[in-house]
A and B are shown apart, each in its own frame.
Chain A
Amino acid sequence: MRAGSACLVLCPMMSPPAESHQPHLRLLREHPEDCAYGTLSSGQVICLIVLLVLLGALILWQPWATVITLNTLAILFYLLHIGYKFFLVYRSLHHSSKIKIPPVALSTLRPENLPTYSILVPLYREAAVVPSIVAALAALEYPADKREVWLLAEANDHETQAALSAQALPEGFRVLIVPPGTPQTKPRACDFGLEVATGELLVVYDAEDRPEPDQLKQAAWIFLHSPERLACAQACLNYYNPRQNILTRWFTAEYSSWFDLFLPGLTGLDGPVPLGGTSNHFRTSVLRELAGWDPFNVTEDCDLGVRLHKHGYRTVMMDSTTWEEANSRLLSWLRQRSRWVKGYLQTWLVHTRHPLRLLRQLGLPGWFSFHMTVGGSVLCYLLNPLYWALTLLWLTAHPEAVARLFPPVVYALGLFCLYVGNFVFVYLAVLGCLYRRYYELVKYAILTPVYWLLMSLGAYRGVLQLLSRPSFWEKTDHGFAREEAEP
């Protein structure tokens, strides 16, 4: 096996990659059970085989009873998922757990008391946006002597390196060329960044990000006034091009609902938070303790959020926004979504290698939240097309087989899921728009079921890719946004 490349199955006899002394392989070295180097553990493989064999036998022995049982389980899962998401959002509407720091409080922060900050910006094929990210980060209100900015360029990305050379960098901005190696992923670059970071606090921004100017100060205030077990403050993410086309409108509705309503609800319940890809502010010492990011996981942010919680640390949401570019091109959006789904699946599989240990580490509510948020979301994407097809089939042809799948009680529950569940998820998107004051997007949010179809497409693509190229990072292209005024 080529050093550093990932595989689907992690076998105990498999030796670690030759370059395991490198910083990005610390997690694999120190906590291999938390690393997605091998997606499935040998125990998981055995369980999977036993399950498949058992299922096959049951299907041969009692085909209808087995399929009806599976259908019932799926519908019970839907019920839980609908109730859980609605509960979190409704709770969040009543009392948002986002931490809002009034400007008066920020003004009391004395520069000499501020912690030092490291800002990591992984850049890969981002030459076009180098000037804008430099400008956005230079605009951050934080004493220059208290912050360092690490622009992380890949060794084989000469174009971005050239753009960085041509750019006049402000004080405290440095460029780190990430040595060549695999997997060539964002978390790997961040791990190299973590190695050189000197700040007490650390934040990751993407190349196209535009954080609100006082975001660092807000995060510093939160960490200064919180107990040590608070390890991460996640800022809200939203888009600066929400009205570009129907895709960006739907994407904005989804992000608004996720970051403004769902995640605050989750932190309010003290559940493990699947962090967003950028604008997560950490205590650097905790990141080092946890061996940084998992370079083999393509949603390293989500994975890190779960690991923080497993180790007893907590995450909060802060009321500050980083504006990003919404993916406006369908194919690029599908690639991005596939990666997210693949990463969520990786994360779910990695952390369920020891289910009982996970339950002990997260506690029952956290354990339930983890399954609903990380595994449940993906399962929903995968199951949806199946049930849409069944509904369509039933409405058009009334086949007896479909009727047989739904005995009366299952039918009633299924009908409830269809009727109430669809409404709940559409309305969550509507509420997200209203919360963000994107009033003109409400009418598009009503059409989100079409967007769900795209999500399912992306999910199936992600699953297939997990089987073939588990750690392959599909780059999201930036620079296609039409500029819009912020709301």
Chain B
Amino acid sequence: MRRAGRMLEAALLFLVAAALALYAGQRAAEDWQVNWDGLSAVVHAQDIWHRAPEPRLTQIGFVQPPLPALLASAVAIPRTRPDLIRFLPPLLGALYLGLTALVFFKLVRGRGLSRPWAYLLTAALVLHPLLLSQAAGGAPAALRTLLILGMLWGLDEWARSGSLRALLVASLLLGAGLLTRYELVLWVGPIAVTIAVISARAGGYSQAEGTVLAFLLPLAYLAAGWIAACWFIQGDPWYFWRHTFANSPELTSDGLARAASDISLLACPFLTGALWYTLASKRRARAGQFSIALLLGGPVLAAAGASVLGRLSGGPWSQLMAVSCLAMAGGYLLAARGLGDAMRGSGWDLHAVMSLVLAAVGMTAAVHFTQLGMGLPRGLTDTIRGKIAFTGDCHAEAAAAARLREELAPGERAVIAGWPGFAVAAFEGHLNRTILVPTPQPPGGDIPAVEVLLVREDQRGSAQDSWKQALETRLEMLWRVGSWTCYRPVPTQQSP
């Protein structure tokens, strides 16, 4: 096919995948269903451009990983009507899914698959309710899947051909992935070890040392840059880390057991598949084993890392976000490899196929049994119709924003305490006069002077009492919408 034809094919592929995500996303947004992470990125981006008196570049996700907000800043340049903000994340998701389809198609073709097979596999990836849901909601997970797909390709390509460019791409994409979810740092270790092992087999210790350093250097530089940015701008090099985990629950022994069981169940299928693959195919090319080792090492180390940290950011739900991206990208690449081998006439790779089947079946079983209550994907038809997973109903936030708009007189300011208060602030449309506190409790240090307090009551602790104490005042309840309760602080009369 000529260059122009290939360009047209790529453009069409991108457009079809993007349109699909956009359609599902718009249907969901019409029903006031939003992916909170996606919306959060857009609100952060709006903060960058529109928070008066000056653009707040420093707002770029010092708590939330910054990359989704940075990319969302493109759609946040024009000022959007508050009631339309929820339609913006699907735009980004559409972009991510379109690119994922393009990249995957290219990779699959590179594996020697014929065009019909490549279309079929790409369609299977794009139409997977998990990925489609993430993209339709504009979730950073869709971006993460794209980055991980590229990273896995880079590593596989490096292991196959020794391409330094592929190694550099893998490192940069993992670095970018880190800036979408900090927990991905737990994957760096197993990948580095795998690279070391492969390199050492090829050329001894010095080759392992040089290659691992070359892989880690971009990552380390990226991380160091982020830490330096936190230090110079926020005054605390570990600001992002502290605040990411500040609101996550202390890991009790019960919580640890639960998390370990959830993560193990999620990791188990990959472990089984990897064992099958590795044990049954000693003479296989190292690249395949490498992919599997990656899938195996990641979740296990993630669990171990979480235990060491003593905290989980957001519990198993968030772990699934990282694991699912890896599973989607890795699983489909493995399928492409197996099919590619078959198409080239080297026969079906039974081990790869069985590993994939085991992983897929195991993953489904694990999700079913753990019943994580995450609104996991429904069927494809429902997903396309906008019944997408990983979303929450934002009617309450919209209603609270509308009441807040009525309540605030010109010049007055409100504290919105509790998650997802950013949605209320965004829907209210005046980011300049709201102060967000991620938990219902008052922050330490200086308590902001405030005319109105909007608290989410169903989150931890007695928010009302904490705020009364902090403000040294009594709170007069104005109204309640869903879980959100609005108060006006009234100073207590001092006795003469």
Residues of A within 8 A of B (CB): 90, 93-94, 419, 423, 426-427, 430-431, 433-435, 437-443, 446
Give every chain B residue within 8 A of A446 (Cβ-Cβ): 213, 217
Q: Which residues of B contact A437 (CB under 8 A)?
A: 203, 207
Of B163, B164, B209, B213, the most chain A CB neighbours within 10 A belong to B164
Q: A431-B164, A431-B168 are known contacts. Are A439 and B217 too (CB-CB below 8 A)? A: no
Query: Could you list 30 examples of A-B contacts with CB < 8 Å?
Result: A90-B165, A90-B168, A93-B164, A93-B165, A93-B168, A94-B165, A419-B225, A423-B218, A423-B221, A426-B217, A427-B218, A430-B213, A430-B214, A431-B168, A431-B214, A433-B210, A434-B164, A434-B210, A434-B211, A434-B214, A437-B207, A438-B210, A439-B206, A439-B211, A440-B209, A440-B210, A443-B209, A443-B210, A443-B213, A446-B217
Q: In the complex, A93 Cα to B163 Cα: how many Å?
A: 8
> Are A439 and B209 in contact (CB-based, < 8 A)?
yes
Given contacts A430-B217, A441-B210, 10 further A-B contacts (CB under 8 A): A426-B217, A427-B218, A431-B168, A431-B214, A437-B207, A439-B211, A440-B209, A442-B213, A443-B210, A446-B213
B360 CB to nearest chain A CB (Å): 34
A139 CB → nearest B CB, Å = 28
Q: How far does the Cβ of B413 sit from chain A's closest Cβ, in whole Å?
A: 27
> CA–CA, A45 to B274, complex, Å?
72
Task: Give chain B interface residues in 149-167, CB to chain A under 8 Å.
Answer: 163-165
From A426, A434, A441, A446, residue with most partner B Cβ within 10 Å:
A434
Output the nearest chain A residue to B199 by Cβ-Cβ distance.
A439
A419 to B210, CA, bound (A): 23
Residue of A94, A419, A442 near B214 (CB, 8 A) is A442
Question: 4 nearest interchain CB pairs?
Answer: A439-B210, A442-B210, A93-B165, A440-B206
A441 to B206, CA, bound (A): 9
A443 to B213, CA, bound (A): 7
Q: In the docked arrangement, what's the CA distance between A97 and B370, Å?
A: 55
List residues of chain B with CB within 8 A of the CB of A441. Answer: 210
Q: Hey, which chain B residues are within 8 Å of A90, CB to CB?
A: 165, 168
Q: A interface, by DSSP: helix, strand, loop or mixed?
A: helix
Q: Are B217 and A427 in contact (CB under 8 A)?
A: yes
Instruction: Let me know if A439 and B203 touch, CB within 8 A.
Output: yes
Complex Cα distance A439/B208, Å?
8
- Distance in angstroms between the alpha carbons of A93 and B213 in the assembled complex: 18
Which B275-327 residues sit within 8 Å CB-CB of chain A? none
* Closest Cβ–Cβ distance, residue B185 to chain A (whole Å): 19
| Chain B: minimal CB distance from A74 (Å) | 22
For A439, the chain B residues whose CB sits under 8 A away are: 203, 206-211
* Chain A residue at smallest Cβ distance from B209: A439
How far, in angstroms, from A430 to B225 measured CA to CA in the complex?
19
Give chain B interface residues in 181-218, CB to chain A under 8 Å.
203, 206-211, 213-214, 217-218
- Give Cα distance in the complex from A435 to B214, angstroms: 11
Name the CB-closest residue of B to A91: B165
| Set of chain B residues within 8 Å of A430, measured between Cβ atoms | 213-214, 217
Size of interface on B: residues with Cβ below 8 Å to A: 17
B175 CB to closest chain A CB, in angstroms? 11
Nearest CB of A to B351, in Å: 31
Residues of B within 8 A of A442 (CB): 209-210, 213-214
Q: Which residues of A contact B209 (CB under 8 A)?
A: 439-440, 442-443
B contact residues around A431 at 8 Å (CB): 164, 168, 214
A-chain residues with CB within 8 Å of residue B165 when the two chains form the complex:
90, 93-94
- Residues in A neighbouring B203, C-beta threshold 8 A: 437, 439
| A433 CB contacts on chain B under 8 angstroms | 210
CA distance A94 to B166 in the complex (A): 9
> What separation, in Å, do the CA atoms of A434 and B213 have in the docked complex?
10
Q: A75 vs B256: C-alpha distance in the bound complex, in angstroms?
A: 52
Distance (Å) between the CB of B111 and the closest chain A CB? Answer: 18
A433 to B211: give the CA distance in the assembly, Å: 10
Closest residue of chain B to A395 (Cβ to Cβ) is B232
Measured CB to CB, the closest approach of chain A to B218, in angstroms, equals 7
List residues 419-467 of chain B with CB under 8 A from any CB of chain A.
none
Rounded to whole angstroms, the CA-CA distance of A244 and B454 in the bound complex is 69
A441 to B211, CA, bound (A): 11
Q: Digit string of B213-241 for contact with A (CB within 8 Å is 1, else 0)?
A: 11001100100010000000000000000
Question: How far is A431 from B221 in the complex, measured between Cα atoms in Å?
Answer: 16
Q: How far is the CA of A90 from the CA of B225 in the complex (A)?
A: 22
In the bound complex, CA of A440 to CA of B204 (Å): 11
Complex interface: chain B residues within 8 A of A427 (CB): 168, 217-218
Q: How far is the CA of A426 from the CA of B163 in the complex (A)?
A: 19
CA distance A94 to B163 in the complex (A): 8
Closest CB in chain B relative to A419 CB, distance in Å? 6
Residues of A within 8 A of B164 (CB): 93, 431, 434-435
Chain A: minimal CB distance from B313 (Å) = 27
Q: How far is the CB of A307 from chain B (nearest CB, A)?
A: 33
The CA-CA distance from A423 to B206 in the complex, in Å, is 23
A426 to B164, CA, bound (A): 15
* Cα–Cα, bound, A426→B221 (Å): 11
Cβ contacts under 8 Å, B217 to chain A: 426-427, 430, 446
Distance between Cα atoms of A93 and B157 in the complex (Å): 13
For B165, B168, B206, B210, the residue with the greatest tally of chain A CB atoms inside 10 Å of its CB is B210
B-side contacts of A434, CB under 8 Å? 164, 210-211, 214
Q: How far is the CB of A159 from chain B (nearest CB, A)?
A: 41
Give chain B residues whose Cβ lies under 8 Å from the Cβ of A426: 217
The CA-CA distance from A110 to B462 in the complex, in Å, is 93
Q: Which B residue's beta carbon lies closest to that of A433?
A: B210
Min Cβ gap A426→B in Å is 8
Give the docked Cα–Cα distance between A440 and B225 (Å).
26
Q: Which residues of A contact B163 (CB under 8 A)?
A: 93
How far, in whole Å, are A441 and B210 apart by their CA atoms in the complex? 7
Cα distance A440–B211 in the bound complex, in angstroms: 10
Q: Which of A90, A430, A433 has the most CB of B within 10 A?
A: A430
Distance between B214 CB and nearest chain A CB, rounded to angstroms: 5
B12 to A: closest C-beta gap in Å:
26
Kindly state the separation between the CA atoms of A112 and B211 in the bound complex, as whole angstroms: 46
Q: Which residues of A contact B206 (CB under 8 A)?
A: 439-440
Across-interface contacts of B210 in A (CB, < 8 A): 433-434, 438-443
In the complex, what residues of A have CB within 8 A of residue B218's CB?
423, 427
Bound form: Cα–Cα A384–B468 in Å: 57
A329 CA to B164 CA in the complex, in Å? 32
Instruction: Please name all residues of chain B whose beta carbon is closer than 8 Å to the beta carbon of A94 when the two chains form the complex.
Output: 165
- Given the complex, which residues of A lie within 8 Å of B213, measured CB to CB? 430, 442-443, 446
A413 to chain B, nearest CB (A): 14
Q: How far is the CB of A14 from chain B (nearest CB, A)?
A: 51
Which residues of the other chain, B, contact A438 by a CB distance below 8 angstroms? 210
Q: How far is the CA of A16 from the CA of B208 in the complex (A)?
A: 60
B208 to chain A, nearest CB (A): 8
- Give, as a whole number of angstroms, the nearest-CB distance from B220 to chain A: 10
Residue ID in chain A nearest B222 by CB atoms: A423
Say how far A429's CB is from chain B's closest CB, in angstroms.
Answer: 11
Find the A residue at minimum CB distance from B213. A442
Q: How far is the CA of A433 from the CA of B214 in the complex (A)?
A: 10
The smallest beta-carbon distance between A309 and chain B, in angstroms, is: 27
Q: Which one of A419, A435, A441 has the highest number of Cβ atoms from chain B below 10 Å of its Cβ?
A: A419
Instruction: Looking at the assembled complex, report how far the CB atom of A88 sits from the nearest CB atom of chain B, in whole angstroms.
Output: 13
